[in-house]
Every structure is written in structure tokens, then in C-alpha cells.
Structure 1
Amino acid sequence: MDVVALGESMVTFLPSQPGRLADVPAFHRSIGGAESNVACALAAAGHTTRWVSRVGADGFGDHLVEAIGGYGVDVSHVRRDPDRPTGVYFRTAGDRADDAHEVAYYRAGSAASAMSPTSVDLDAVRAGRVLHLSGITAALSEDCLTLMRELTAPHAGRPLISFDVNHRPGLWGEGQDAEVLLDLARGADIVFVGEDEAEEAWGLTGGPTAIREALPEPDVLVVKQGAVGAVAFCRPPAGDRAAGAARAGADGTPQSPGCDNTPRPAATAPALNVDVVATTGAGDAFAAGFLSATLRGLPLKTRLRQGHLTAAATLTTPGDVTEPPARPLADRLAALDDPAWGRLRLGPGWTDADAEAVEEARTP
């Protein structure tokens, strides 16, 4: 496998119209899960991927396995739990950042919360060139946290560990999240974190450089800055991490300009101008685009741009999981010079257009 992703996925109910949850008359069923979103996007981009998790022995579990498998993801190591249900959640329409946005989770005691080092197949989890994890899993239960610590611990021959902080305050008890998430991030090789997340979870207010100073261990640290863009820090990998990077096909990190141990960005990429339909799943799509480019050995700046392009595909559709742009289209756009990149404007349906049409749709 190119990438194995481990984490909880839930059946998502999207509203049929805007408004409060109390007023929405009907919902459309979909799927949602940070890690499986990444696996689906990478599979759609042509990579071999596996999703490892637990779901209930119920119809919602059937739907998740079938839907995620339908993207070409290997779901053969998803275990069914006869005693615990599949998690579900409902959300309102619109932007998650909107004060009126509501999400109702029904995941307590779910099948996925019973994941542990003994309830999942660790050989199957470690069978990829990259293992993608997120901080959400650590918040689900003590067993899940034990599993996360096991997977991020130093281990000879372990896969390249990709970790998305994915800070969700509502899932954590008072004061539990900061130290746990920081420790897990320090054990990973590639870390994705939003600048706002770092402030909320760790009280870091000095921007990307302050985040790097707090997290010097990862070989690659990607700091997402919302509508501003993203920056990446890197350092030459050492020991087992170097072997992991080689297995992942990363031109690594050592050859990229500015790749050293100093707390300064090695690459930056401004965000694209996007006509946003919904923001849910965009962070997962960014991680998928970045990891795809990493597996292909592309330069660090191109990895950031590929992340932005994959995120733009999700931002311009209402669901959590969207087909990424075709590789020739994404590669052509990622190779634009800086002024042309800054003039791009992407709206709904842009992934179905040819490169010339996309380039012509520019911001005035």
C-alpha cells in the first residue's frame, strides 16, 4: 500500500436546506471521517490505499464500508463490532466557521472508540509506505490513545508517519488535549496543523515560526494559514525516519532548498482564490494532495500547491469527499509562475474543465 489511514468514519447527514437543525425537514446521507477522507482522495488520485477501523454490525456500518470501498480503498481490515454502533452525525449547511453552524455527534461508545493495539491488525496498519493518523482518534477513548501512542512510538522499519492535529475541543476533557496532541505530533514525520489550531490547543501566538520552535522534531511541518496559504518547514531526516522517507518516495526533505534545522519556512504557497461552497473536508483534502505529491517525490513548494488544489476541489462542492483534479490538470496548474498562480480563481465545476479554461478564469 502507498498509504494506510486509521481512524473513525461516521455516516454524515447533510441538510436538505439551510437553517437550524431544529428546522431542517430532511437530510441526505453521506460519509465523513478525517482519515478515510484522505484515503478516498488518494485512491481517486491513483494511489493504493487502505482504511483500517471498526464499525458496527449494522446498516450504517455496511454503508461506510461499501462507500469508502467504492473509491478504490482497501477495506478488508475494517472490523465489525456486534455490540457497539457505527457513529453518526448531523450538521447544518454552510461554513463551519459560521456562528450559526451546528453539529450533532452521536459517536459516544461507537465501534471505532474500541480500537486498541489488540483490536486492530497492527501488521495491516503498518503495511503502507505512509501511515496517516489524526488527533481525533486520540480523543475517542483511552484505548484509542494507547493505540496512537503505540503507532507513533519509535519503531525500527515503521512507515512514514503522517499526523494531522485536527484539534476538536468538544471531544476532549478539560485540559487533556494540549500535551497529548503535542506529544503525538513530536513522534510523527509529517505534521499538518492550522495556525488557529496551534493557538487554541497550545497557546502559540507567534505564527508559523513559533509553531516550528515548539515542534522541531517532525521532518516536515506544514502550517496552514486559512485563506492566506500554507508554509512548510523541513529538516534532513535521520535514522529510521530517513529510511521511511526513502520508502515513501519523498525526494525528501533533504534536497529541498532551505531544508535544515533552522526555524524558518523552507517553502510557502499562497492559498487559491476559491468560490467556496462548503469548507468541511478541505483540510483532509489538503493533506491528501500534499501526501500524493510527497509520494511522487515532488518539490516541497509543489507539494503545498497540490494540497491547495485538492482542497479547492472539496471547497467547491458540498460533501466531505470529492474527486481530486485530474493529475495532468493539477500538475499544469501547480507549475504556474507565482503571478499566474495568484490570478487563478476556481469555482464549482472547475475540475471538469481543461487547463486552458481554468487558467482563463482569473481573478480581476
Structure 2
Amino acid sequence: MDVVTIGETMVCFTPDSSPLMRYAHTYSQRFGGAETNVAIGLSRLGHQVGWISKAGNDEFGKALLSFVRGEGIDVSQVKIDPHAPTGLYFKEVRSGDNVRVQYYRKGSAASTLTPNDLEEAYIAKAKYLHITGITPALSDSCYQTVLHAIAIAKANRLKVVFDPNLRKKLWSEEKARSVLLEIAALADIILPGIDEGSFMFGETDPEKLGELFLQHGASVVILKAGAKGAYYFTESEKQFVPGFSVKTVVDPVGAGDGFAAGIISGLLDNLPLEKIVERGNAIGALATQVMGDFEGLPDRFELNQFMYSSSDEDVSR
């Protein structure tokens, strides 16, 4: 096992007939969740990934598990809750830079995760534990579960990768800041956006943020700057890696998860940090060009074609 991740994945409904839900008569059903988006991205690149979660004993939960399993992800640690439902959300893609999301996840099956749902031997088999700031926001038991997972990782010498993935709708700003800083102090590799860093530390300068995250406990900080690219910081080096240009952004949701998948994949492939961040930038860019949270995540061939092809001409016809 290369990576284990923990978190909620939900059923996503997107209007077909109109981008605004008030006028929509038909919807497309998809799936989405930060952790499985990353897992899918890694699986498509040939890595072995396990996902820990809960789903409802309903048709949505069954569909969700079938789908994630079909993407090559191990779901043996996903438990079925007979009492709580699978979470839902609706996504309005009004334009490439205007996406609105409405969640219906309160009391969902995944929000009932507890430390007892974790199997230490399973996590110990992996090389990396991937955590986001979404899971601890779902409930106190989810928060405790994340801390327990990190403790297991530390005890078994796994590297902890943390994407703050701030969701202000899920909790108070005071609680969010406190917990994100707590987990950041335990992470080995942290993947914040500049806005998230500003929220956590009250600082907007990228270089100062990099220093603050390093001082706070991380050994590698990769700071996302949107379409421009990303910075990376360690005790001995720092650099900015420019992003990839995209002609049209179709759906930006999931780009950060694609970026995280690229980073973890690069770490697993033992690439130099500059190349790791370059891969993250490339997958993040690819993710924005297709509707859906994970649909644009590439396999190795598609990734290499995007990163290294000198022509946009389609010669595969």
C-alpha cells in the first residue's frame, strides 16, 4: 500500500438543463470528496491507495462504493452505517470562475467515524497518510479519528501529508484555525493555499508563510498560488514553480485535490522537489478542464502528453 486517506465522499448532483438549480429539471449524478479525488488521482497514476470512511446503507452508498472500488481503490476499510445516510451535495457551475456548492451532509454516515473504526495494521502498511482539514470539521468524533490516525502514522513511521482544505461553512473560524494549526504541527508535508496560510497565520507574503509553516513543524511546505503555480520550502531550499496555462477553465472544483495527488505521486516516485511541484501543477491544471471533481485527473500517458508535448494538435484521430 502506498497511501491511506480518510474522509467523506458524497453523491454530487449537477444541473443539466440550466446552471441554476432554481430552473433545473434534470441533474447528472456524480461523486465527490477531497480524499477520494486524491485517491483516484493516485490510482490512475499506478499507485496503490486505501480509503477509510463510512457510507449509508442506502442506494447512494452502494453506488458510491461500487464507483470508488471501480477506480482501483481499496475500500475494505469503509464501513456501512445502517442508521445514517450517505451525504449529498449540489453543484452549480455558473461559469469557470463561479461555482456554488450546497452541502447536505449533516448527520451523514461519514460524520460518525470514530477512532475505533481505524485498524492500525492496515494504516501501518502504507508509506503516506493523507489528511485534509475537511474530515475533522465534520464532527468531534471525526476530529478524534484524524488525530488517532496521525498517531498511528507517527508510531509506524509513515509520512503525514496534510492539505488544510479550509471549509468555513463547516465550523467556526476560531475552531477551524485552532484545529488546522494543531494538525499542521503534526504534519510532515503540508499543502496550503496562500489564502489558507493567511487564515491560519494572518500573513499574506508567500516567503513568510513558508517560514511560518516550517517553524510550526512541517519539514516540507508546498504553498499553492492558484493558476500562477506553487512555492516550495524546506530548511535548505525554496523556489517558485510556475503553473501550466489553460485555455478554458470548465470546472475548478477538484484542482487542489489533483495538485495533492501529483505531489504525493512525485514523492512516491522519489522525484526532486521541483519536479514534484511541477507534476502537482500539471494535474491541477488538467483537472480544471473537465466537468466534475475527479473526471479530469490523468493517467501517466495523459499526464506526460500534457507536460511534455510541444503541440496542441490532436494526432490521435
Q: TM-score, normalised by structure 2?
A: 0.91
CA 95–171 in structure 1, closer or farther in 2 if over 3 Å, else same: farther
SS at match of 1:152: helix
Shift of residue 177, structure 1, vs aligned partner: 0.7
Q: CA deviation at 1:16?
A: 0.7
After superposition, give the CA deviation of every residue in 1:273-307 in whole Å (9 maximum; x if it has no partner). 11211101000000001111110001111111111
1:98-247 aligned at under 5 Å gives the runs 98=98, 101-153=99-151, 155-216=154-215, 217-235=217-235
Contact 1:52 1:125 in 2 (8 A): no
Whether 2:278 is the aligned partner of 1:305: answer yes
Question: Which one-letter code corresponds to 2:101 in the other structure?
Answer: V
Offset of residue 214 of structure 1: 4.2
Listed as ranges, the matches of 1:194-343 within 5 Å are 194-216=193-215, 217-235=217-235, 258-259=236-237, 265=238, 267-274=239-246, 275-322=248-295, 324-328=297-301, 330-331=303-304, 334=307
AA of the residue aligned to 1:270: P
Unaligned stretches of 5+ in structure 2? none
On the 8 A contact 1:137/1:148 being kept in 2, the answer is yes
Q: For each residue in 1:84-132, what CA deviation from the matched residue of structure 2 results, as whole angstroms up to 9, or x when unmatched?
A: 111010010145853xx43221110111111111123333234311111
CA distance in 2, matches of 1:104, 1:326: 30
1:143 and 1:197 map into 2 onto residues whose CA distance is 24
Structure 1 stretch 22-31 or stretch 123-132: which is displaced more?
Answer: 123-132
Q: Secondary structure at the match of 2:226?
A: coil
Instruction: Check whether the contact 2:283–2:298 (CA below 8 A) recurs between aligned residues.
Output: yes
Output the CA distance in 2 between the equivalents of 1:198 and 1:287.
16
Q: Distance in 2 between matches of 1:41 and 1:326?
A: 8
Gapped regions of structure 1 (runs ≥ 5) = 236-257, 260-264, 337-354
Distance of aligned partners of 1:290 and 1:17 in 2 relative to their CA distance in 1, 3 Å threshold: farther
* CA displacement at 1:272 relative to structure 2: 1.1
Task: Please name the residue that 1:72 is paired with.
Answer: 72
2: CA distance, partners of 1:177 / 1:78: 26
User: Measured at CA, do residues 270 and 18 of structure 1 come closer, stay the same or move farther in structure 2, by a change above 3 Å?
Assistant: farther
> In the TM superposition, what whole-angstrom CA distance separates every residue of 1:17-49 from its partner, at most 9, and x where no partner exists?
443222222210001000011011111111111
Alpha-carbon distance between aligned partners in 2 of 1:136 and 1:93, rounded to the nearest angstrom: 21
Query: 2:23 aligns to what?
Result: 23
Contact 1:285–1:314 (CA under 8 A) maintained in structure 2: yes
Quick one: distance in 1 between partners of 2:96 and 2:44? 25
The answer (yes or no) to whether the contact 1:41–1:323 under 8 Å persists in 2 is no
User: In structure 2, what residue type is equivalent to 1:147?
Assistant: T
Shift of 1:161: 0.7
Aligned to 1:316, the other structure's residue is in SS state coil
**For residue 233 of structure 2, what is the amino acid of its counterpart?**
F
Deviation, 1:311, is: 1.3
1:179/1:23 CA distance change after superposition, 3 Å: same
Cα distance between partner residues in 2 of 1:158 and 1:117: 19
- Cα distance in 2 for residues equivalent to 1:132 and 1:172: 21
Q: Which residue of 1 aligns with 2:6?
A: 6
Tell me the SS of whatever aligns to 2:22: coil
1:64-100 per-position Cα deviation (integer Å, ceiling 9, x unaligned): 11111111111111100001111010010145853xx
SS in structure 2 at match of 1:8: coil
- Give the alignment's TM-score, normalised by structure 1: 0.80
Partner AA of 1:313 in structure 2: L
Contact 1:309–1:330 (8 Å) recurs in 2: yes
| Corresponding residue pairs, total | 311
Over the residues paired in the alignment, what is the CA RMSD in angstroms? 2.1
Identity %: 36
C-alpha offsets along residues 170-214 of structure 1, whole Å, 9 cap, x if unaligned? 001352111110110110111110001222344222224234324
